[in-house]
Chain A
Amino acid sequence: MTPEMLSLSNSPGLFVGIMLLKLLVVFSVTMLIVAYATWCERKVIGHMQTRLGPMRTGWHGLLQPIADGLKLFFKEDIIPTEATRVPFLLAPMMILVPALITVAVIPFGPDLKLGGFLIPQQITDLNVGVLYILAFAGLGIYGIVLAGWSSNSKYSLLGGVRASAQMISYELSAGLTIIAVFMLSETLSLREIVALQQQDLWGVCSFVPNWYVFTQPLAFGLFVITGLAEINRTPFDMPEAESELVSGFCTEYSSMKYALFFMAEYANMIVIAAITATLFLGGWSAPFNIAILTMIPGFVWLLLKIFALMFFFMWLRATFPRVRYDQLMRMGWKVLLPLALANVVITGLVVVILQ
């Protein structure tokens, strides 16, 4: 008997149980990475600037995230009297939730066989998976814009205005670079995109898998840049720009609400790294088709790729100064957008010629 895909119709109890388990595991792993990404970032930047970073709390500062969390938890939660209360309270959640929801479509391994059923190692496989990611990435902006507006402070408002302009500009290029990937994969489901990337490179070289980074190097580069801009990481952290806007959209926030903004920033970083790994770096598949490497479970490879990309983002933060706002806009509209469009046209031509 060939095992069939587990669904709500053929075994409701098992389906709900496994779904809850998957949700719990993915959520806790993401939150754990978020907590330790802060520690990692301080360590990495510290060492790059020949400092040690946090050293006092625990071995090499390993307990620092917990100490930070506790500290922020016990701080006074201030709501400015002039603030518009409801959006002010909801804004931090409106940033964090889209970031966490997006993780649901990232596949983290091949199907498992259990009790005659096939269980996909992915919370859900949508046939519009990539569009789902784009949709929720776009909704994260509301949190920032509303945080900026409802704080009723000039710096916050400026941060919110900057965030909205920046994210619209870069979302366009990000969407266009992903289109080039669809043109090769001919599917929007992330599960199938990963499966396609496990084939041989260009159908000839059986040793190296067909990762889209080899066929779409330009799209990969553009996606990483636009992704960084969309999650407001340095060198594109204009909305919070400490040197000019105090702290941008989160100037008026304190205590756990401020912590939520930071958690959202790191959760977004994980999401962008996971999407880049899934679309361009073969998702959970091993880098070479060797038996020893393919025996290692898929989630290990996915996590390794995510960590490598996150390390790269931290490295950029330690290396590059913040770009100026007009440079940022000019680069988005006059460099990245035409390049992304050209990439789509060239990919289309090549696909038609090769057919």
Chain B
Amino acid sequence: MTTALFYILGIILLAATLMCITRRNPVHAVIYLVAGFFALALMFYLLGAPLVAAWEVIVYAGAIMVLFLFIIMMLGLAPQEVPEGPGWQRWLPLALLSASLMACTLLLILEDPAAGQKVGGFYLAPQALGEALFGRYAMAVEMVSFQLLFATIGAYLLGRPLPKGEDQ
């Protein structure tokens, strides 16, 4: 059952990503990618890491993709589409993907009656993950955060206001 769910989620994820990279309209692409992230979050949950699943939704689906949408809208990259006919056909793949994701979620709940309760062992507790990240893998975390800091400083350097009189 769990194995079957894993493969179904994998297929959904691949299909959503494929739809994402083949769309002409960037807004549609972003929506497919969000569906893909949900499949990924469910997969993490299936693997016993609810915390990573929650992060997946918060960081990728909740923040980064909204940022993408913001940029797309601000730069006016989305072509103004004139709807033809009822318009449902074009959204059929997304509806199918979402429906199968929903079904997977329900199966996941049925498969695992203790989903709501705190059970040790299989499910990784937030504390255990925190200890591993900041104890055993502290070096890696620090290195990654330094890289992000460099990136931030670089972005600031590129985007800083030029002093007066200096030309581009």
| Interface pick from A109-117, A135-143, A221-229, A240-248 | A135-143
Proximity bits, B122-166, A CB within 8 Å = 1, else 0: 010111000000000000000000000000000000000000000
A87 to B87, CA, bound (A): 10
Question: Of the candidates A8, A127, A138, A164, which one forms a contact with B70 in the assembled complex, judged by CB atoms under 8 Å apart?
Answer: A164
Contact B62 A171 (CB under 8 A): yes
Contact A7 B117 (CB under 8 A): yes
Q: How far is the CB of A83 from chain B (nearest CB, A)?
A: 7
Proximity bits, A140-154, B CB within 8 Å = 1, else 0: 011001101100100
Contact B73 A83 (CB under 8 A): no
Contact B57 A138 (CB under 8 A): yes
Contact B63 A86 (CB under 8 A): no
Main secondary structure of the interface of A (DSSP, over half): helix
Contact A139 B61 (CB under 8 A): yes
* Chain A hits for B127, CB < 8 A: 186
Task: Say yes or no for A70: interface residue by CB 8 A criterion.
Answer: no
Please classify how large the interface on chain A is, using the bins under 10, 10 to 19, 20 to 34, 35 or more.
Answer: 35 or more
Task: Say yes or no for B16: interface residue by CB 8 A criterion.
Answer: no
| Interface pick from B7-15, B74-82, B99-107 | B74-82
A146 to B66, CA, bound (A): 10
Most A C-beta atoms less than 10 A away, residue of B31, B63, B74, B83: B83
A145 to B27, CA, bound (A): 11
Contact A139 B57 (CB under 8 A): yes
A192 to B74, CA, bound (A): 43
Question: Of the candidates B62, B78, B91, B125, which one forms a contact with A138 in the assembled complex, judged by CB atoms under 8 Å apart?
Answer: B62
Contact A149 B118 (CB under 8 A): no
Task: Say yes or no for A165: interface residue by CB 8 A criterion.
Answer: yes
Task: Say yes or no for A85: interface residue by CB 8 A criterion.
Answer: yes
Number of A-B contacts (CB under 8 A): 103
A61 to B90, CA, bound (A): 46
Question: Of the candidates B50, B66, B117, which one forms a contact with A141 in the assembled complex, judged by CB atoms under 8 Å apart?
Answer: B66
Question: Of the candidates B69, B73, B86, which one forms a contact with A85 in the assembled complex, judged by CB atoms under 8 Å apart?
Answer: B86
Contact (A145, B83) CB under 8 Å given A131-B58, A139-B61, A139-B62: no
* Chain A hits for B80, CB < 8 A: 82, 152
Q: How far is the CB of A175 from chain B (nearest CB, A)?
A: 8
Contact B87 A145 (CB under 8 A): no
Question: Of the candidates B55, B61, B73, B113, which one forms a contact with A164 in the assembled complex, judged by CB atoms under 8 Å apart?
Answer: B73
A87 to B88, CA, bound (A): 10
Contact B116 A125 (CB under 8 A): yes
Task: Say yes or no for B54: interface residue by CB 8 A criterion.
Answer: yes
Contact B86 A145 (CB under 8 A): no
* Chain B hits for A171, CB < 8 A: 62-63
Task: Say yes or no for B1: interface residue by CB 8 A criterion.
Answer: no
Closest to A152 in B: B80
Task: Say yes or no for A190: interface residue by CB 8 A criterion.
Answer: no
Closest to A160 in B: B73
Contact B62 A141 (CB under 8 A): yes
Question: Of the candidates A83, A138, A145, which one forms a contact with B61 in the assembled complex, judged by CB atoms under 8 Å apart?
Answer: A138
* Chain A hits for B4, CB < 8 A: none
Question: Of the candidates A127, A132, A145, which one forms a contact with B66 in the assembled complex, judged by CB atoms under 8 Å apart?
Answer: A145
* Chain A hits for B27, CB < 8 A: 149
Task: Say yes or no for A124: interface residue by CB 8 A criterion.
Answer: yes
Question: Of the candidates A131, A141, A149, A172, which one forms a contact with B55 in the assembled complex, judged by CB atoms under 8 Å apart?
Answer: A131
Task: Say yes or no for B5: interface residue by CB 8 A criterion.
Answer: no
Contact A149 B114 (CB under 8 A): no
* Chain A residues numbered 145-180 whose CB sits less than 8 Å from any CB in chain B: 145-146, 148-149, 152, 157, 160-161, 164-165, 167-168, 171-172, 175
* Chain B hits for A67, CB < 8 A: none
Contact A9 B114 (CB under 8 A): yes
Task: Say yes or no for B51: interface residue by CB 8 A criterion.
Answer: yes
Closest to A192 in B: B118
Q: How far is the CB of A207 from chain B (nearest CB, A)?
A: 32
Contact A164 B69 (CB under 8 A): yes
Further contacts, 9 of them, CB under 8 A, given A82-B82, A164-B70, A171-B62 = A83-B83, A85-B83, A128-B126, A134-B62, A135-B57, A141-B62, A148-B73, A165-B70, A175-B58
Residue contacts A-B, CB under 8 angstroms, 9 given: A8-B113, A9-B114, A83-B83, A86-B90, A125-B116, A125-B117, A141-B66, A161-B73, A168-B63
4 interchain residue pairs of minimum CB distance: A138-B62, A8-B113, A131-B54, A135-B57
Task: Give A residues with C-beta under 8 Å from B.
Answer: 5, 7-9, 81-87, 124-128, 131-132, 134-135, 137-139, 141-142, 145-146, 148-149, 152, 157, 160-161, 164-165, 167-168, 171-172, 175, 186-189
